[in-house]
Each structure stands twice: as structure tokens, then as C-alpha cells.
């Protein structure tokens, strides 16, 4: 039944109910409407317009344009019908607008008295797109028809946003290693995978920064991106990319399509400043459709890695299996769709370990001998190596370290058509599973565990032909458990070997640079993350004249609970040489106080409102103007236990312990920061799109926008959990083994690790701008090229310690004075601040807000829409990113990061961003190979599909430091590595290339000068590692049994050319990689896998 309504211009409008044969996109949805405040708004505006798309999908597309006669005059009151949606009319300006359309293929019909009818077919609308379609009518009779079957140009003449869409065909048919759909975002210009991100497995760095694959866009940090599914933000506790413990974001078969917004997007988006990856899930239809699949990878299909030892390939097996199905529960009313995917993986790994020889073990005193069983005995015939520091012998050999992953992913969606004006939908996904791995000495097995959930409900209501409202509520929950013990051998679980209070086994024991550190059952730092984000949104779509207006608000309540347990069984890992361990010489023991690990419970709320106007200023010129306001409450601990050092100036006299009145002592505060930097967060967005030739085939576009990086919980969580009073760590400077629980551990409050947080952060402004030109080259080819820039100030910066000797500028360069105390010589001072520059006991972990970055990039793309069975694109980016720090959280954000930069000298920190990839080329194609459609020949020569992804990038930056451990600058840092940049020898080429990548003879330690030691001149991130080149290829064979049923055989080849993509060289600053070490500058691993082949079967009906 048609629903009759009267428009604001007095024109009768017919909005037709959706018919079954017109609804093959992803389920048809019309919602019930959240009416708060919107009804009143409708009474205040006189609106002429179109019966908008009626489905519960606020991330839908928009279609708008002008209907004119042959001379360019407006045709008012023309009837515009959009198949799958309904019928409406143009207003007095000849303008129509259909907001919030479900992505898919559409057909538009226009009729007007005195003109021939017009039909435009094959209009493809994508998620979040703003498509312009102007139509010109010819004078004639209505029974005469002008029909255009070709798709309109893929040129964005109504929006200045730089965006791309990855459609369902691309998601399904391109070769995806691990079937992670978010990795396809890197196909777009300006977006790149970060090769220096930490890998999954034994390191806590990956889990603490999120498990998903990290992406950089246009110079923005990885945690400045926003990921949305069905309009709900699903970023995790680190504000990073979503993903399970295996590092994958599953659910390919449940994704309809997703868009990637990279620059100058509209005011409806905020929260941070990077890319917006916006996905929608599939819906059911009246017919029963679905898939079932099984993918298998095995070592017998794979090539050896460049660095694999001689002999057979290590065992490897991964299977991915599952299916999807959708149908109607009540025809034309209730639709359901669901997916399941499981992953079972046994992935090989190996590590070279160093253990004491039998002769060395025999030299150990009786108290130490039981602990040496933590190191396995070397295989017979293993060569002896002499430790140059003690003369004792050790042995080196490789051990296999398999990683076991078990992950399960489920998603479901329900769509309910309540009436022609109302539609309701809801969706849910659940992703859970562990990944486990033994420690290098195989004493214990530890695991990381991830569980992610998202649920949302969305409702859309049509108030009038030109006022549509969508209300959405949802919750996203993430759990991450890092390095939890699973099992241990007899030595790792021997309580008789415990020396730390509350320990259940021996401590972590290490001789840096000599023996592989023994971790045991409780030697790893453990982390527990719990994240909950409750979200509310309301968006209203209005049309008035040539203005398409969208207004709305957003609310988010964030709850983040995090706990850190530093080596629960204690650490005894600073023996100066092997002889000291064998003789049971006293060493420094770090241990948790009994009950000394407590949960941080951060609470924060976000409020936002916006208005966006896409104004068709001229028939060939659209101006996009918007304003967003965002405010967050001050982040606080739910239990009001925050203790912080709030100033780093005017500290107490050296040698005098900080008392309760000390300006540098920790004080109780009610929030992590004192003043709210978000109270004036007005964010204007402005852009234009100009069609200079008025044919819809060219768009000259530009935009400028201001964003904010909000002070969200991830900036404070890890930093706080590692410090007092949430984690109380004591030490005994002269601990020994074999004597039972150590009773000499000091938990002196003046020597416990604490933190400093800048109490008055300034607004973290992000300025983005772009200029680009799009042009339809042929009917199916579109070219885009342009410039993108950004500037960021007052970003958060975190590090492991700030209690350092302040550097000074001299005529010879930056110098660390030798007779100067740290900022606070008393706090955590190992000797009470008596000696200038003496290392601290635990340090002061800072969060400051002085980070800056700049980015300038050229981006180009050549894109071919699907035609004649061929679809593809080629993207190119040349960009340069510089910043003062890439680390918004404590620790090593990336493998090329420096955990403790000299924060007191911004000049010392300036360099390339840790994720700076200068050049990126990415190409894809999908080809439905022509062949016979029927007969016997079709079973062999027909039904073939080919696909490929080609990627070539330049290398990642890295820093060369002096290494060797300790504190060569005498900064007072109590750590296990050097922070000092090496000095670059003038006229020397530091890059060899190949496996022996770095010419270490080009580097020396910085010289000592009168009054101190100079900081090296080589600088941060000055050098770049090897680039990356890889080709992934797929070949599919489809066996069609009926119109509805087919079986697809899939063969996917990852790195099909087996090109060894070398990782960065060993350059980091530890005792094993100091200048002059044979290890330094040598490449020992690859950044991608060797050639891997995946076979699969997929049944589609």
C-alpha cells in the first residue's frame, strides 16, 4: 500500500512500500524513530524534498542532485523514483535529496509534465558516500523515455571528503592472508600497514597496544583511527585496531562493505583525527542465502624462510572454517543473518638460546645449582663459546617455539520492518580465544587471551518527506589478558626455589649478553585489560532548498580497568657476568609487595554535537560546511586512589628525602589531570567540490578541518597501572639465591616507581587539509591525484622515565652535564641523591602533552569499476611524517621506538615518525575470466576468477644508539639500555644493504667534553631499513550446479614470488647490540612470511 503524504510545497508525494523484487541489496529496513527533540525541529522548518531512504542505517549513503531542462533551468515538482526506496518530488529549485540509503545498486526514474521520462540505471551507492546525480530532461511526451544503462561517473562532485569504498566483491574475492578484512584499508592512498608494529605472541607490547593490525593514515598515529561496525565504535582499550589474540579481525563473510575516510570528513565524525574505517554487516533477505567454507594451510605448501636453518620446514597448520546464512522469518517484515568463523593454528617459531655448558654448571655453588636446571642442556656436539667477561663456557643452539591459536567468531543481525515509516535493527558479534607459546627455555607456557563483543540497536523513523531520524545505541566490550601462565615444568613450579614474597617459583634470572634470561612461571609482566564503551547516537536528516542538512549528537561512557603485575615471582636479572651467578654473588632483586598490584578503574564520558550542511551553491558547485563540538569529562579513578607527582620544578635539596611538603613528592589528586583541555573543542569543517565542465566527469575538491585528539583513558591506563599506589615494587640490592624468601626487600615509599602527569594540558589540535582532482578517464576508469597535509600539536607523549639530568645546549652540541642532579635527585634515588646523575631506583613515568607532528603527502589513484569482468585499482603515496614522539603510551610502541627518549629536550627528539613509510604502491585486480557458460567445457574452462594484491613500500626508520646497556650519558636513568644516539663519522656511508645492512664502522660513541658528555649527532629515526615487495595471488574455480548453488575451489598464494622482505637490522640499544658487536647492523629476520599457499572450498547458495 502506498502511503500518501503532503510535502511542504503542497505537492502530493507517494512513498511506496518496498517490493520483494526490488530488495536484493542487504535486507530492507524502516525504523520506529527516536523522536526526542526532532518533532519540535520539524515544526520549525518548512521543508520541501524527497521521501528518504527508510532503513536503520545511519552510516548509509546519500543521493542528491538537480533536475533541469535542456537549457539548464530547474524543473520543479518533478517526480523522482528510486527503485528499492520510494517516490518523491523535486522542490521549487529542482533539487532532490535522498539521505541514509542502504549501500547497493539503484535505479532512478524522473517524470515531469511536458518532458520525456528519464531512467538512470546501475547507480552504485556505497557506505557513507555522498553521490551527486544531476539529470537533464528533454521536452516531449511522458510515454517517451530516455534510458541510460551505464553507471554514472565515479566522481565525487558533492563532497570534499577523501574516501574510498571496499565493496563486498573486493572483500570476498581478493587473497586475504588470515581473512582479515581491515587489512584491505591499506589498499587506499595514504593508508599503510605499520611494518614496525610489535608481533603477536610472547611480547606484551602487542597485546598492550591492541591485537589488531595497526594502520597509519596521513601522518596520524595508529591509535588516532576510528573503527566502526554498524555505526558503533569498536576500538579497543588502547584505542587501537580491533582484533583477536591471533592478530586477525575475522568475519569477512558477514561484511557487506566498508569505507575508508582519510581526510576532511564531515562533522558527524570525531573522537580523534585519523582514518575512519566504517563497516556495515550483511542483512537477510526473503530468500535463504548463505555460505559454508573451509580453508587449509600446511607446511607442505609453503616455502622456506630466508633465515630458516637447513633441514625440513618446521611444522605448521592453520585451518579456518565456518559459514553464513540469512533469510526472512516473516516475509517482507523480519530478516536475520548470521556468521560463524573458527581458527585453529599451530604456527612454528624458533629462537637461538644461550645456556651454560656442563663444565660451567659444575662450577656453581650448591645454592645456585638447582636454579641452573632452568636452562636446558645443549644437544650433544654443540660447540662451546667462551664468555669473554668470565672465561666460562656457554653453548648456543636453536629451539622450536610453536604458537597455538584457537579463536571463535560469531555475528548475528536482525532487521524488523515495523511500518512504512519505521524500521528497527540490531546486531551482535562475539570474538574470543587464546594464543599460547612456551618461553625460550621451555620451562613454562604462557598465553594471551582476547574477547571482544559488540551489540547495537538502531531505529529509523520518517517524520515527513524531508525529515528522517535515526537513533542508535550500542556497547563495545574488550578483554585482554597478557602473559598469563598456563603450565610449568617441575623447576618452574618449585616453590622451594622462590625468593620473592608470594612467589610460586624461582625468579626471573638473567646475565645480560651472556645467557638467555630464564623466565620461569612468574617471570613475565602480566597485564589484565577490561574495556567497556556504552554509546548513544541520534542523527536527523533534513532537506531545505538546496541544502542537505544533518544534525546529531553522540554520547559515550568509557570504563577501563587495567592491572599490571611486574614479574610476580621477582626479577634477579642484572648479574654483571656469568661467574657472579655461579658464585651466588649479591644482585639486585625487584619484587612486588604483598598485595602490591591493584586495579586502576578509569571512568570518563564524551559528549558531542554537530551540524553539517552540504549546500548545492551552484548546479556545479557544492560547499560542505560543518561544525562539531566535543567535550570529555576529566578521566578519574573510580576508587579515587590516584597519586601523582604534579611538578618537576623547585625540587628538594639533593640528599634530603622528599617529605609531605616537598614540591616534587607525589600527592593525592582527584583526576589524572587538573584542567580540562576539551571545554573549547569547536571543530569547524569546510570544503568544496566543483564540477568545472558541468558534466559530472570532473571534480576539483579541497577542504580544511580541525580535529581533536581527546585525552581518553588509554593515555593514562598503562602508565598508572605500573606505578604507586597501584603497583608497589620493592628491591633488595644484595639478594642471593637458595636462601628462601628474601626478608630484606625495601618498600621505602621514597624509592617506589611513581609518575608525573602534566596537570594542565593544552588542547590537542589537529589541522587537516587537502586539494585533489578527480576525473573520469573512460566510462569505467577514474583517476584521482592530490595533496594531503596535517599538523598536530600538544599530543600526549609517554615514556618509561623522565627523572633525568636536564641537557644543556653548548657550542659543541647538546650536552648532559656530569655534575648535575636529575630533576628530582631524591625520588627513587638509589643512593638518596648524594651523587650527581646516580641512577634512580624505579624512576618517574611521565605523560606530557608537548608532542608535535607534520605530514605532507602526494596521493594518486587509478580505479577501474567492474566491467567486462575486470575490476581493479592502483594507488600511490609519497609522504613524509615528522614528529617529536610516536608514543602515546608507556613502553616500546613499535619495535623501532625508543622507550626512554630524553623528554627534556624536544630538539633531541625531532625525527621521522616511527611509522614513516615514504613511498607506497598498492595495486589490485579481480578478473572473471571469460569462458564457456554451459556444457562439458564449462566444468574445465569456465567459471575461473583471478585476483591479486601487489604491494611495494620503502623501509621503516630506525635509530642507531651506542648500546652496551647502562647509562653512558650519566643521565640518571635506571634502565637496561642506552638512550644515547651514536655519532656518525663524517663522509662515511652507513648503509651497506643486504644482510649486513649497517656499516657499524661509520658510528662511534659521542665524545666526552669538559663538563659532561655530548649527545650523539646521528639523531632519531635518521636511517631507513629495507623496503618491502610482495605479490599475493588467487585463482578460484566456480562449479555452478543451479542458479542458486555453486561450489568454489580457492587457491591463494601469499608472497607468491617468495621475495625475502628483510626486517630492520639489529640496532636497538642493549648489551647484545652495542657498537662493535658482531650482532649490530645485521639483519636476522624477515618482515613478511615466505611463500605460503592456502587452499579452500566454499559452498555458496
The answer to whether 463 and 44 have CB atoms below 8 angstroms apart is no
Please report which helix (H) or strand (E) contains residue 170, including its range. helix 168-173
Residue that is written with C-alpha cell 624512576 in the block: 843
SS3 841: coil
pTM of the prediction? 0.88
Confidence of residue 662 (pLDDT cuts 50, 70, 90): low
SS3 347: strand
Task: Give the pLDDT score at 419.
Answer: 92
Alpha-carbon span 16 to 3, nearest angstrom: 7
- For residue 110, what are the β-bridge partners? 80, 118
CA distances for 565 relative to 509, 591, 594, 1100, angstroms? 17, 10, 11, 48
Cell numbers standing for residue 418: 515495523
Residue spans of the domains in the chain: they are 3-162
SS3 141: coil
Q: Does a cis peptide bond (omega within 30 degrees of 0) precede residue 725? A: yes
814 or 951: which carries more pLDDT confidence? 951
Task: Give the pLDDT score at 18.
Answer: 30
Alpha-carbon span 446 to 448, nearest angstrom: 7
SS3 964: coil
Residue 362 in this model has a pLDDT that exceeds 90? yes
Task: Give the pLDDT score at 37.
Answer: 37
pLDDT in tens, 212-236: 888 999 999 999 999 999 999 999 9
Task: Give the pLDDT score at 822.
Answer: 76
Strands (E), 907-971: 911-912, 919-928, 944-953, 957-958
Eight-state DSSP code of residue 456: E
CA neighbor of 1096 nearest in space, from 58, 239, 198, 252: 252
Residue 204 in this model has a pLDDT that exceeds 90? no
Task: Give the pLDDT score at 789.
Answer: 98
Alpha-carbon span 622 to 619, nearest angstrom: 8
Cell numbers standing for residue 334: 523480519
Alpha-carbon span 15 to 858, nearest angstrom: 45
Alpha-carbon span 848 to 673, nearest angstrom: 11
CA neighbor of 76 nearest in space, from 46, 49, 107: 49
Alpha-carbon span 220 to 961, nearest angstrom: 26
**Kindly report the CA angle at 858 between 855 and 864, in degrees rounded to 5?**
135
550-554, 649-653, 924-928, 1020-1024: the lowest-pLDDT one:
649-653
Cell numbers standing for residue 432: 574470543
200 or 1093: which carries more pLDDT confidence? 1093
The answer to whether 248 and 178 have CB atoms below 8 angstroms apart is yes
Alpha-carbon span 804 to 909, nearest angstrom: 15
Instruction: Specify which of 345-349, 547-551, 750-754, 1011-1015 reaches the highest per-range mean pLDDT.
Output: 547-551
CA distances for 910 relative to 101, 787, 962, angstroms? 46, 24, 18
Confidence of residue 316 (pLDDT cuts 50, 70, 90): confident
Task: Give the pLDDT score at 48.
Answer: 34
Confidence of residue 1077 (pLDDT cuts 50, 70, 90): low
The answer to whether 946 and 1034 have CB atoms below 8 angstroms apart is yes
b/e for 161-192, b at 16 or more Cβ within 10 A?
Answer: bbbbbbbbebbbbbbbbbbbbbbbbbbbbbbb
Phi, then psi, of 568 in degrees rounded to 5: -55, -25
- 587-597 and 526-544 beta bridge pairing: unpaired
The answer to whether 683 and 765 have CB atoms below 8 angstroms apart is no
Alpha-carbon span 916 to 959, nearest angstrom: 13
The answer to whether 41 and 552 have CB atoms below 8 angstroms apart is no
The answer to whether 332 and 361 have CB atoms below 8 angstroms apart is no
pLDDT in tens, 712-742: 999 999 889 988 889 888 888 899 999 999 9
pLDDT in tens, 115-136: 888 888 877 777 767 777 888 8
Average pLDDT over residues 330-335: 94
Cell numbers standing for residue 381: 656436539
120-134, 420-434, 1003-1017: the lowest-pLDDT one:
120-134
Average confidence score pLDDT of the chain: 84
b/e for 814-837, b at 16 or more Cβ within 10 A?
Answer: bbbbbebbbbbbbbbbbeebebbb
498-512, 882-896, 902-916, 1045-1059: the lowest-pLDDT one:
882-896
Phi, then psi, of 756 in degrees rounded to 5: -120, 130
- Identify the burial level of 330 via C-beta atoms within 10 angstroms of its C-beta, where 0-12 means exposed, 13-18 middle and 19 or more buried: exposed
479 or 69: which carries more pLDDT confidence? 479
Average pLDDT over residues 317-339: 96
The answer to whether 769 and 826 have CB atoms below 8 angstroms apart is no
Strands (E), 301-421: 317-330, 334-347, 350-356, 384-386, 393-400, 403-417
- For residue 330, what are the β-bridge partners? 334
Confidence of residue 693 (pLDDT cuts 50, 70, 90): very high
Phi, then psi, of 757 in degrees rounded to 5: -125, 130
Does domain 3-162 fall under CATH 1.20.1070.10? My reply is no
Cell numbers standing for residue 127: 557506505
Termini Cα distance of the chain: 32
The answer to whether 1013 and 812 have CB atoms below 8 angstroms apart is no
The answer to whether 49 and 88 have CB atoms below 8 angstroms apart is yes
Alpha-carbon span 404 to 201, nearest angstrom: 9
pLDDT in tens, 552-566: 999 999 999 999 988
261 or 1014: which carries more pLDDT confidence? 261
- For residue 902, what are the β-bridge partners? none
Alpha-carbon span 416 to 283, nearest angstrom: 11
pLDDT in tens, 951-1003: 999 999 988 887 655 566 666 665 545 567 888 999 999 998 888 898 888 98
Contacts of 348 (CB under 8 A, 6+ apart): 299, 313, 314, 315, 316, 400, 402
Cell numbers standing for residue 906: 624536544
Residue 465 in this model has a pLDDT that exceeds 80? no
Task: Give the pLDDT score at 5.
Answer: 33
964 or 597: which carries more pLDDT confidence? 597
The answer to whether 313 and 285 have CB atoms below 8 angstroms apart is no
CA distances for 944 relative to 58, 196, 933, 1039, 1092, angstroms? 37, 37, 11, 9, 21
- 226-229 and 276-281 beta bridge pairing: parallel
CA distances for 368 relative to 14, 360, 738, 744, angstroms? 88, 12, 7, 19
pLDDT in tens, 134-167: 888 887 776 666 666 666 668 988 899 998 888 8
SS3 162: strand
Alpha-carbon span 461 to 36, nearest angstrom: 12
Amino acid at each position: 500500500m502506498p502511503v500518501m503524504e503532503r510535502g511542504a510545497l503542497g505537492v502530493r508525494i507517494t512513498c511506496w512500500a518496498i517490493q520483494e523484487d526490488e530488495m536484493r541489496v542487504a535486507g530492507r529496513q524502516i525504523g520506529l524513530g527516536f523522536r526526542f527533540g526532532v518533532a519540535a525541529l520539524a515544526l520549525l522548518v518548512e521543508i520541501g524534498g524527497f521521501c528518504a531512504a527508510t532503513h536503520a542505517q545511519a552510516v548509509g549513503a546519500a543521493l542528491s542532485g538537480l533536475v533541469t531542462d535542456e537549457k539548464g533551468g530547474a524543473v520543479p515538482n518533478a517526480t523522482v523514483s528510486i527503485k528499492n526506496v520510494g517516490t518523491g518530488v523535486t522542490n521549487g529549485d529542482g533539487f532532490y535529496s535522498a539521505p541514509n540509503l542502504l549501500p547497493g545498486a539503484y535505479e532512478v526514474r524522473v517524470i515531469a509534465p511536458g518532458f520525456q521520462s528519464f531512467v538512470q540505471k546501475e547507480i552504485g551507492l556505497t557506505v557513507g558516500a555522498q553521490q551527486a546525480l544531476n539529470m537533464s530532461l528533454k521536452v516531449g511526451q511522458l510515454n517517451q523515455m530516455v534510458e541510460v544503462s551505464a553507471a554514472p561517473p565515479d566522481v565525487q562532485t558533492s563532497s570534499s571528503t577523501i574516501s574510498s569504498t571496499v565493496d563486498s566483491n573486493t572483500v570476498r574475492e581478493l587473497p586475504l592472508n588470515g581473512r582479515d578484512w581491515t587489512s584491505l584499508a591499506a589498499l587506499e592512498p595514504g593508508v599503510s600497514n605499520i611494518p614496525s608494529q610489535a608481533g603477536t605472541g610472547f611480547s606484551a607490547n602487542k597485546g598492550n597496544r591492541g591485537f589488531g593490525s595497526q594502520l597509519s593514515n596521513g601522518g596520524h598515529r595508529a591509535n588516532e583511527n576510528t573503527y566502526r561496525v554498524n555505526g558503533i565504535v569498536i576500538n579497543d582499550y588502547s584505542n587501537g585496531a580491533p582484533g583477536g589474540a591471533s592478530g586477525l579481525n575475522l568475519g569477512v563473510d558477514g561484511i557487506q562493505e566498508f569505507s575508508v575516510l582519510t581526510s576532511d570528513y564531515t562533522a558527524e565524525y570525531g573522537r580523534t583525527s585519523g582514518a575512519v574505517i566504517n563497516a556495515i554487516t550483511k542483512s537477510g533477505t526473503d530468500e535463504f542465502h548463505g555460505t559454508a567454507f573451509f580453508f587449509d594451510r600446511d607446511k607442505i605448501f609453503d616455502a622456506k624462510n630466508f633465515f630458516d636453518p637447513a633441514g625440513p620446514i618446521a611444522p605448521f597448520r592453520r585451518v579456518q572454517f565456518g559459514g553464513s546464512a540469512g533469510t526472512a522469518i516473516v516475509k517482507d517484515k523480519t530478516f536475520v543473518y548470521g556468521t560463524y568463523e573458527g581458527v585453529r593454528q599451530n604456527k612454528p617459531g624458533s629462537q637461538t638460546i644461550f645456556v651454560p655448558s656442563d663444565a660451567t654448571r659444575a662450577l656453581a655453588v650448591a645454592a645456585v645449582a638447582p636454579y641452573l636446571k632452568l636452562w636446558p642442556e645443549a644437544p650433544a656436539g654443540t660447540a662451546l663459546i667462551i664468555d669473554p667477561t668470565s672465561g666460562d663456557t656457554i653453548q648456543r643452539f636453536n629451539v622450536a617455539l610453536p604458537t597455538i591459536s584457537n579463536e571463535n567468531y560469531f555475528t548475528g543481525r536482525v532487521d524488523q520492518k515495523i511500518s512504512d515509516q519505521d524500521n528497527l535493527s540490531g546486531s551482535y558479534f562475539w570474538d574470543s580465544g587464546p594464543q599460547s607459546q612456551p618461553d625460550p627455555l621451555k620451562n613454562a607456557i604462557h598465553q594471551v587471551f582476547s574477547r571482544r563483543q559488540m551489540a547495537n540497536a538502531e531505529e529509523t523513523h520518517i517524520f515527513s518527506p524531508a525529515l528522517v531520524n535515526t537513533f542508535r545505541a550500542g556497547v563495545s566490550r574488550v578483554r585482554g589478558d597478557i602473559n598469563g601462565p598456563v603450565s610449568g615444568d617441575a623447576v618452574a613450579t618449585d616453590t622451594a626455589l622462590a625468593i620473592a614474597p608470594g612467589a610460586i617459583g624461582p625468579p626471573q634470572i638473567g646475565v645480560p649478553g651472556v645467557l638467555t634470561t630464564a623466565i620461569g612461571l612468574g617471570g613475565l609482566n602480566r597485564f589484565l585489560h577490561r574495556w567497556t564503551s556504552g554509546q548513544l547516537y541520534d542523527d536527523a536528516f533534513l532537506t531545505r532548498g538546496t541544502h542537505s542538512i544533518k544534525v546529531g549528537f553522540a554520547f559515550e561512557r568509557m570504563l577501563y580497568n587495567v592491572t599490571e603485575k611486574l614479574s610476580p615471582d621477582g626479577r634477579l636479572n642484572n648479574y654483571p657476568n656469568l661467574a657472579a651467578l655461579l658464585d651466588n654473588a649479591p644482585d639486585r632483586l625487584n619484587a612486588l609487595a604483598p598485595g602490591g598490584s591493584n586495579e586502576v578503574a578509569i571512568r570518563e564520558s564524551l559528549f558531542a554535537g554537530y551540524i553539517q550542511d552540504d549546500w548545492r551553491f551552484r548546479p556545479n558547485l557544492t560547499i560542505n560546511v560543518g561544525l562539531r563540538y566535543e567535550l570529555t569529562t576529566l578521566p578519574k579513578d573510580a576508587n579515587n586512589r590516584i597519586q601523582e607527582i604534579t611538578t618537576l620544578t623547585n625540587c628538594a635539596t639533593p640528599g634530603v628525602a622528599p617529605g609531605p611538603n616537598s614540591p616534587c613528592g607525589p600527592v593525592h589528586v582527584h583526576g589524572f589531570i587538573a584542567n580540562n583541555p576539551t571545554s573549547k573543542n569547536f571543530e569547524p569543517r569546510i570544503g568544496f567540490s566543483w564540477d568545472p565542465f558541468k558534466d559530472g566527469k570532473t571534480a576539483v575538491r579541497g577542504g580544511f578541518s580541525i580535529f581533536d585528539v581527546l585525552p581518553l583513558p588509554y593515555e593514562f591506563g598503562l602508565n598508572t597501572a605500573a606505578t604507586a599506589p597501584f603497583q608497589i615494587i620493592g628491591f633488595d640490592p644484595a639478594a642471593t639465591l637458595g636462601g628462601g624468601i628474601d626478608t630484606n626487600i625495601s618498600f621505602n615509599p621514597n624509592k617506589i616507581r611513581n609518575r608525573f602527569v602534566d596537570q594542565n594540558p593544552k588542547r590537542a589540535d589537529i589541522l587537516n587539509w587537502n586539494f585533489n582532482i578527480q576525473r573520469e578517464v573512460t566510462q569505467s576508469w577514474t583517476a584521482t591525484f592530490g595533496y594531503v597535509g596535517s599538523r598536530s600539536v600538544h599530543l600526549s607523549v609517554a615514556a618509561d622515565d623522565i627523572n633525568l639530568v636536564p641537557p644543556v645546549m653548548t657550542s659543541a652540541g647538546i650536552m648532559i652535564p656530569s655534575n648535575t642532579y636529575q630533576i628530582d635527585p631524591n625520588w627513587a634515588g638509589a643512593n638518596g641523591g648524594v651523587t650527581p646523575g646516580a641512577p634512580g631506583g624505579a624512576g618517574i613515568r611521565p605523560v606530557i602533552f608537548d608532542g608535535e607532528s607534520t605530514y605532507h603527502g602526494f596521493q594518486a589513484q587509478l580505479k577501474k569499476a567492474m566491467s567486462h569482468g575486470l575490476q581493479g585499482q592502483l594507488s600511490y603515496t609519497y609522504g613524509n611524517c615528522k614528529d617529536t614522539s610516536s608514543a602515546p603510551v608507556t613502553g616500546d610502541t613499535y619495535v623501532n621506538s625508543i622507550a626512554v627518549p630524553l623528554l627534556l629536550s624536544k630538539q633531541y627528539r625531532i625525527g621521522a615518525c616511527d611509522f614513516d613509510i615514504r613511498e607506497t604502491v598498492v595495486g589490485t585486480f579481480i578478473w572473471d575470466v571469460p569462458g564457456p557458460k554451459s556444457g562439458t567445457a564449462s566444468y574445465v574452462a569456465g567459471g575461473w576468477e583471478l585476483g591479486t594484491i601487489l604491494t611495494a613500500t620503502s623501509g621503516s626508520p630506525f635509530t642507531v644508539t651506542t648500546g652496551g646497556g647502562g647509562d653512558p650519558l650519566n643521565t640518571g636513568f635506571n634502565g637496561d639500555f642506552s638512550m644515547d644516539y651514536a655519532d656518525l663519522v663524517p663522509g662515511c656511508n652507513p648503509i651497506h644493504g643486504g644482510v649486513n645492512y649497517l656499516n657499524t664502522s661509520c658510528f662511534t660513541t659521542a665524545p666526552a667534553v669538559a663538563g659532561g658528555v655530548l649527545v650523539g649527532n646521528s639523531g632519531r629515526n635518521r636511517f631507513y631499513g629495507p623496503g618491502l615487495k610482495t605479490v599475493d595471488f588467487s585463482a578460484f574455480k566456480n562449479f555452478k550446479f543451479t542458479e542458486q548453488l555453486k561450489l568454489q575451489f580457492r587457491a591463494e598464494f601469499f608472497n607468491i614470488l617468495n621475495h625475502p622482505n628483510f626486517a630492520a637490522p639489529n640496532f636497538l640499544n642493549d648489551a647484545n647490540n652495542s657498537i662493535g658487536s658482531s650482532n649490530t647492523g645485521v639483519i636476522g629476520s624477515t618482515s613478511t612470511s615466505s611463500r605460503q599457499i592456502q587452499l579452500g572450498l566454499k559452498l555458496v547458495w
